[in-house]
Amino acid sequence: MRELVVVSGKGGTGKTSLTAAFSHLADNHIVCDADVDAADLHLLLAPDVKERHEFMGGGKAIVDPERCTRCGQCRELCRFDAIDDEFVVDAIACEGCGVCVDLCPVGAIDFPIQKCGEWFVSETRVGPMVHARLGIAEENSGKLVSCIRREASRLAEANGQELIITDGPPGIGCPVIAAIGGATALVLVVEPTVSGLHDMVRLTDLASHFRVPCLLCVNKFDLNPEMTGRLEDMARERKIAVVGRVPFDPLFTEAMIAGRTIVEYREDAPVAAAIRQIWQNIAGSPAMNSYGIRITS
């Protein structure tokens, strides 16, 4: 089984629109939305939810005022300044380490496990989909990403599907680390801007750290052809295959409003043709077709 993860470093470069398009073009696969913080893929794929599961994160400390003797031990121990002088725990500041819970001399602190979000198994017109919703202002996004990737791979194995296409989160932190470890390859969707270049460099550093090969797709390449050239040079320097260029096209926004992937919305548009070609290049790339490939940058 292979897993392709679409990532970008910088947000808003077109990951989700392209993931949706790829999943329309691919056969016998599962789609996974690993951007659990701000999941948007469902807006294009209109999943019909078949299974709904609660995602339980860690505990949060709650001081019971009845039992509390106001000795101050918990306040002294807490490294996150989460307990105020009235012995009320600030749920947002609480890291969930449970040190106060274990060391309260009178056992006055409860530590209920929190529901941090939900994850779903759904049917869509392009195949099965595993996706999730992290609760607002919650932690543990990395854990939820790992959870849905595990479920996607379990489901793919059960269904005999050979490919998972995953929409990844932006950035290079906790959820991204959880989204790319052990993936077959990453598609980097990058815009030809100074920020795009800067963020791509950091992301490819992270990818080499985890030894996952990358493929580069430049989106809106015509906004700055010179910068597009620099991105592609950078890719070659880092042994990243360039799988193609997508032109800037307001059709993306129109397709999004229509709730369709761009390749469905305007099959005959040049931008759709470019994306079909890119998908062929990805599917035929060495990174997606040979096991144990190692990048050396």
Partner 1 sequence: MIISVASGKGGTGKTTVATNLAVSFGSGCTLLDCDVEEPNAHLFLHPHIDRSETVTTFVPVVDESRCSACRKCADICRFCAITVIGEKVLVFPELCHSCGGCQVVCPENAISDGQRELGVIEWGMGTGVPVIQGRIRVGEAMSPPLIRKVRAAADTEDQIIIDAPPGTSCPVIAAMRGADFILMVTEPTPFGLHDLKLAVGAVQMLGIPCGLVINRADMGDDRVRGYALAERLPILLEIPFDRKIAEAYSCGRMIVEVMPEWKEKFRELLQQIKVEILASSWRRKER
Q: Which helix (H) or strand (E) holds 113?
A: strand 113-124
Nearer to partner 1, 142 or 244 (CB): 142
> Torsion angle of alpha carbons 137, 138, 143, 146, nearest 10°?
-50
Give the separation between CA 142 and CA 123, rounded to whole angstroms. 24
| Secondary structure string (H, E, C) spanning 138-167 | CCCHHHHHHHHHHHHHHHHHHHCCCEEEEE
DSSP string spanning 24-54?
HH-SSEEEEE---SS--THHHH--EEEEEEE
Give the separation between CA 295 and CA 208, rounded to whole angstroms. 7
Give the separation between CA 131 and CA 154, rounded to whole angstroms. 14
Among 3, 199, 232, 249, binds partner 1 (CB under 8 A): 199
Among 168, 169, 213, 244, binds partner 1 (CB under 8 A): 169
Q: Is residue 209 part of the contact set for partner 1 (CB under 8 A)?
A: yes
Among 137, 268, 292, 294, binds partner 1 (CB under 8 A): 137
Nearer to partner 1, 115 or 198 (CB): 198
251, amino acid identity:
L
Q: Which of residues 43-62 bind partner 1 (CB under 8 A)?
A: 43, 58-59
Q: Is residue 193 part of the contact set for partner 1 (CB under 8 A)?
A: yes
Q: Is residue 80 part of the contact set for partner 1 (CB under 8 A)?
A: yes
Nearer to partner 1, 156 or 246 (CB): 246
Q: Is residue 89 part of the contact set for partner 1 (CB under 8 A)?
A: no
CB 118 within 8 A of CB 132: yes
| Count of residues in contact with partner 1, rule CB under 8 A | 60
Q: Is residue 241 part of the contact set for partner 1 (CB under 8 A)?
A: no
> Torsion angle of alpha carbons 154, 156, 159, 165, nearest 10°?
160
Stretch that binds partner 1, among 32-40, 46-54, 146-154, 261-269 (CB under 8 A): 32-40
Binding site for partner 1 (CB under 8 A): 8-13, 16, 37-38, 40, 43, 58-59, 77, 79-80, 92, 95-99, 102-103, 134, 136-139, 141-142, 169-177, 191-196, 198-199, 202, 205-206, 209, 223-224, 227, 250, 253, 256-257, 259
